[in-house]
């Protein structure tokens, strides 16, 4: 959630001051938002009833009514139904979309490997979608989602909520307006992932439809560590912290670099910690380096490789700082949740002029989505942005997996002269749970 939901001007100013934002920037945030009329509230369906999903839905019911919930884990679905009293329960999202004609908004908080099928089905059913990040499991999936949003003329907001945090927006405006001089290097530092195992198989809990949970991925025996929260540490279902936190910090890195710089033209990756046989398969410690046509070098590293403050980081991996560092010819800026700092105070303290670049404003990510739904306009983090940010994470994952430098065509969205790498842009789906089934 954004730190600034803006209940009134005074509280906004206090929150901004506590966040370390300059006074001139805080004043810009303090305009009151118009109240939402009760009749404007749409009916909402939650698909994916884990902690993040229920949190998103609880946030969303400021703007609408949770009418239906869906999960392949009946226990989680029951918890959500209890939390949102009156919500109808489903185990198959396709049946929900078919039956709930009055639902106009879907919150998709399923595991990453289910994001795209649910999003495509919801868009096809005429629903607007708030989708958790990373938007996709593969680069090819992102292309399909972007095309579906355009085809069905729907609104999709990617849950990369740092775009609705004033610190990150200020950081990117400072960079884009050249206050650091010529931008040379951007470093996304991500928390180190889990590296554990081997894990034992177990009896599938009676409340869990394990086959449906696996969905389009290859069928395997049930292992508790594969499911629910820790799904993100398996390449079958996600990409570890590289896609989990990477979808956040790489998104801000790209916001600062600016879309007009084009996508990366090459990427080189290295695995820094081998996975435990029979354990988590997603990379836990890694580094990747992107180069852009503009000459900017973008590094994406786990905390074990962190030099984010200019000196070697100290402490255990989970204690090391993570965030985004922009470096230019005239200085540096670092931003993370709860903190923004620069090598020169004037980078932040000097007010922008009338001719300076200002980025779209959102101080409430969920609120921005519902305002976009109401106005039929692009939200702060639409499908194109979610796809671009997720693609960078997937490129890094492929480079780390292959362990060599790869050339990338950002226009064709494919690798140049490398069939092995190109084969990883998409993944084979189980026929039982594929694009044809929606």
- Cis peptide upstream of residue 390 (ω within 30 degrees of 0): no
* 141 and 174 assigned to the same domain: no
Mean pLDDT by runs of 10 across the 438 residues of the chain is: 46 66 80 51 97 98 98 98 96 98 98 98 98 98 98 98 98 98 96 95 98 98 96 98 98 91 92 96 97 95 57 41 95 96 97 96 98 98 97 98 97 97 98 95
Domain limits for position 332: 165-356+384-437
Are the CB atoms for 265 and 392 separated by under 8 Å?
A: no
Q: How is residue 73 annotated by DSSP?
A: B
- Domain count of the chain? 2
- Evaluate whether residue 361 is within a structural domain: no
- Evaluate whether residue 373 is within a structural domain: no
* 58 and 85 assigned to the same domain: yes
Are the CB atoms for 256 and 175 separated by under 8 Å?
A: yes
Is 0.75 surpassed by the pTM of this model?
yes
pLDDT score for 25: 84
- Evaluate whether residue 371 is within a structural domain: no
- Evaluate whether residue 1 is within a structural domain: no
* 228 and 80 assigned to the same domain: no
* 51 and 116 assigned to the same domain: yes
Are the CB atoms for 56 and 127 separated by under 8 Å?
A: no
* 223 and 130 assigned to the same domain: no
For residue 26, the cross-strand partners are none
Are the CB atoms for 271 and 400 separated by under 8 Å?
A: yes
* 246 and 112 assigned to the same domain: no
pLDDT score for 304: 65
* Closest to 48 (Cα-Cα) out of 126, 133, 123: 133
Angle between helices 383-402 and 246-257 (to 10 degrees): 110
108-131 pLDDT tens trace: 999 999 999 999 999 999 999 999
CA–CA separation, 265 and 256 (whole Å): 17
- The CATH number covering residue 78 comes to 3.40.50.720
- Evaluate whether residue 363 is within a structural domain: no
Sign of CA dihedral 100, 106, 112, 116: positive
Q: Pick from 163, 192, 225: which residue ends a domain?
A: 163
Q: Pick from 128, 163, 198: which residue ends a domain?
A: 163
Phi-psi region of 39 (alpha: psi -120 to 50; beta: other; left: phi over 0): alpha
Q: Pick from 145, 163, 181: which residue ends a domain?
A: 163
**Contacting residues for 290 by C-beta, under 8 A, at least 6 apart:** 264, 266, 267, 297, 298, 299, 300, 392, 395, 396
**Contacting residues for 428 by C-beta, under 8 A, at least 6 apart:** none
* 219 and 326 assigned to the same domain: yes
* 62 and 85 assigned to the same domain: yes
* 124 and 176 assigned to the same domain: no
* Closest to 28 (Cα-Cα) out of 334, 358, 259: 358
- Evaluate whether residue 426 is within a structural domain: yes
- Evaluate whether residue 188 is within a structural domain: yes
Based on the number of CB atoms within 10 Å of its own CB, is 273 exposed (0-12), middle (13-18) or buried (19 or more)?
Answer: middle
Q: How is residue 94 annotated by DSSP?
A: H
pLDDT score for 305: 45
Other Cβ atoms within 10 Å of 82 Cβ, number: 10
pLDDT score for 317: 36
pLDDT score for 253: 98
**Contacting residues for 375 by C-beta, under 8 A, at least 6 apart:** none
* 181 and 139 assigned to the same domain: no
- Evaluate whether residue 339 is within a structural domain: yes
- The CATH number covering residue 413 comes to 3.30.360.10
* 187 and 117 assigned to the same domain: no
Residue 225, SS3? helix
* 48 and 114 assigned to the same domain: yes
DSSP string, 407-418: EEETTTTEESS-
Other Cβ atoms within 10 Å of 413 Cβ, number: 17
């Amino acid at each position: 959630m954004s730190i600034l939901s803006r209940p009134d001007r005074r509280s906004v100013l206090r929150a901004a001051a506590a966040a370390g934002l300059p006074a001139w920037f805080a004043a810009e945030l303090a305009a009151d938002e118009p109240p939402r009329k009760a009749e404007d509230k749409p009916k909402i369906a939650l698909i994916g009833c884990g902690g993040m999903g229920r949190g998103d839905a609880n946030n969303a019911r400021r703007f609408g009514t949770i009418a239906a919930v869906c999960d392949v884990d009946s226990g989680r679905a029951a918890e959500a139904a209890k939390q949102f009293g009156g919500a109808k329960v489903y185990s198959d999202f396709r049946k929900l979309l078919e039956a709930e004609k009055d639902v106009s908004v879907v919150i998709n908080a399923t595991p990453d490997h289910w994001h795209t099928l649910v999003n495509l089905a919801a868009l096809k059913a005429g629903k607007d979608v708030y989708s958790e990040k990373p938007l996709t499991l593969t680069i090819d999936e992102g292309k399909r989602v972007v095309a579906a949003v355009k085809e069905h003329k729907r609104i999709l907001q990617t849950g990369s909520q740092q775009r609705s945090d004033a610190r990150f927006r200020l950081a990117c405006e400072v960079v884009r307006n050249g206050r650091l001089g010529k931008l040379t290097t951007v470093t996304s530092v991500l928390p180190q992932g889990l590296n554990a195992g081997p894990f034992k198989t177990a009896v599938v809990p009676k409340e869990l439809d394990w086959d449906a949970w696996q969905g389009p991925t290859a069928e395997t025996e049930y292992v508790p560590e594969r499911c629910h929260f820790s799904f993100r540490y398996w390449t079958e279902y996600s990409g570890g912290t590289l896609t989990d936190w990477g979808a956040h910090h790489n998104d801000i890195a790209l916001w600062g670099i600016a879309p007009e710089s084009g996508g990366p033209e090459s990427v080189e990756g290295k695995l820094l910690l081998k996975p435990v046989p029979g354990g988590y398969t997603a990379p836990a410690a890694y580094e990747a380096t992107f180069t852009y046509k503009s000459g900017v070098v973008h590094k994406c590293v786990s905390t074990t490789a962190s030099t984010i403050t200019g000196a070697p980081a100290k402490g255990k991996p989970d204690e090391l700082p993570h965030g985004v560092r922009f470096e230019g010819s005239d200085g540096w800026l670092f931003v993370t949740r709860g903190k923004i700092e620069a090598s020169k105070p004037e980078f932040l303290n000097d007010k922008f002029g009338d001719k300076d670049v200002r980025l779209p404003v959102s101080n409430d990510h969920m609120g921005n989505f519902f305002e976009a739904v109401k106005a039929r306009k692009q939200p702060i983090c639409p499908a194109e942005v979610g796809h671009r940010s997720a693609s960078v994470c997937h490129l890094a994952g492929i480079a780390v997996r292959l362990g060599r430098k790869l050339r990338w065509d950002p226009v064709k969205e494919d690798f140049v002269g490398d069939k092995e790498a190109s084969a990883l842009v998409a993944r084979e789906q189980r026929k039982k749970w594929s694009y044809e089934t929606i």
